[in-house]
Amino acid sequence: MRLKHFNIEPGAQIFLACSDASRLRILNLIMTNGEMCISDLEQILDFTQTKTSRHLIYLKNSGILTTRRINQWIFYQIKDEVFDIVKQILQFLRRDPILQNDQHLFQTLYSNRELALNKLKLKPLSVQ
C-alpha cells in the first residue's frame, strides 16, 4: 500500500532519517538493488557492524525499512508505503560520485560472488 496522503509526521521521520550521509548511502543501495543484508552493506560501505546496524535500526524505526529473514541473513528492503517518496529524494542524488562508487562496488562484489545476496542465489531487484 502506497501513501496516498503524505502528512507531517511520517514526512518529518523520513526527512530526519535522510539527514545523514551514511543512511542515504544505505538507502540508495537498498533502493537500487531491491534488498540488502547487513553483511553486504558493511562490506560495500566499509562500515563497522555496529555503525551499519545502528543506521539500519534507525531507518527501520523511522518506518522506511522492513525486513525478511532467509536462514541466518536478514534482508532489508524499503517499505511499499514510503517507496515513492524515498525514490524521489534519492533521484536528486543519483549522480553523486560516492553513491555511484557504492553501486559499482556492489556490482563487482556481486559478480565475484562475495555477497550474501549472491550466495543465496537471489537476484537483486533493480528498481531504477
Between these two residues, 102 and 1, which has the higher pLDDT value?
102
Candidates 1.10.620.20, 1.10.10.10, 3.30.420.40, 2.40.100.10; correct CATH number of 8-119?
A: 1.10.10.10
Mean per-residue pLDDT, 98-126: 82
Between these two residues, 107 and 114, which has the higher pLDDT value?
107
Q: What is the pLDDT of residue 119?
A: 74
Where would I find the H helices in the chain? 8-17, 21-33, 38-45, 49-61, 83-91, 97-111, 116-119
Between these two residues, 107 and 10, which has the higher pLDDT value?
107
Asked if pLDDT for residue 127 goes beyond 50, the answer is no
What are the boundaries of each domain within the chain?
8-119
Residue closest to 77 by CA, chosen among 120, 128, 119, 36: 36
pTM: 0.86
Q: Is 103 exposed, middle or buried (0-12, 13-18, 19+ CB in 10 A)?
A: middle
Asked if pLDDT for residue 52 goes beyond 80, the answer is yes
Q: What is the pLDDT of residue 26?
A: 97
Q: For residues 128 and 83, is the Cβ–Cβ distance under 8 A?
A: no
